[in-house]
Structure 1
Amino acid sequence: MSSLPSPQYKSPYGPKYFYQTHVSGITTRAFIRGGLNAGFFGGVALGALIFYASGIPRIQKDIFLNVPVIGRYYPVKEVHPADNPF
């Protein structure tokens, strides 16, 4: 006699087990959490870089003047003709 495997009884009140999707062991929740943390630290690093580099005239002229929001805080400073080496 061959016995066919019959599905076992599953209670509607029991836990609902399912396989969690992952890529190389990284779940969706872990990926989103890591992305948010990386974005937060990247934003803080960008703010620190802007703060520390804001006093460099070359950075002001080449980068900050081209950004619409912060460009108005860095007016173009003309060099006095007596101080110009050329």
Structure 2
Amino acid sequence: MFATSILRSAYPAYKSPYGPKYQYQPHIDGITPKQLVRILPTAAAWTGVALFAVVYYASGIPRLRRDVLQRIPYLGERYFVNEIPASDNPF
């Protein structure tokens, strides 16, 4: 009764020469390397803009200015040192 299913497995499945040629496409969570190469420059630009905005808005915090911004070579010692003149000191 089920002898035909055994015979079918012996023959390869028909593959039309006019059909699509499928190939394995590597991906990580659905993102292919082609998509990653296309998205990466935009993501890097937005990340740079976001980092600049965070540093700009937080540059008034003394701890950030002292620990991060003043340690930038050449720029830190010139632009991020906040010295209060003696005339503004109330004591």
Q: Which amino acid aligns with 2:79?
A: Y
Report the structure, 1 or 2, having the larger strand content.
1
Q: Which residue of 1 aligns with 2:66?
A: 61
- Identical aligned pairs, as a percentage? 32
Q: Where does the alignment leave 5 or more consecutive residues of structure 2 unmatched? A: 1-9
Q: Distance in 1 between matches of 2:69 and 2:85?
A: 19
Give the TM-score normalised by the residue count of structure 1. 0.55
| Pairwise CA RMSD | 3.7
TM-score (normalised: structure 2):
0.53
Larger helix proportion of the pair: 2
Residue of structure 1 equivalent to 2:42: 37
AA aligned opposite 1:74:
F
- Unpaired stretches in structure 1, ≥5 consecutive residues: none
Structure 2 residue matching 1:22: 3-state secondary structure = coil
Q: Which has the larger radius of gyration?
A: 2
Q: How many angstroms apart in 1 are the aligned matches of 2:84 and 2:48?
A: 33
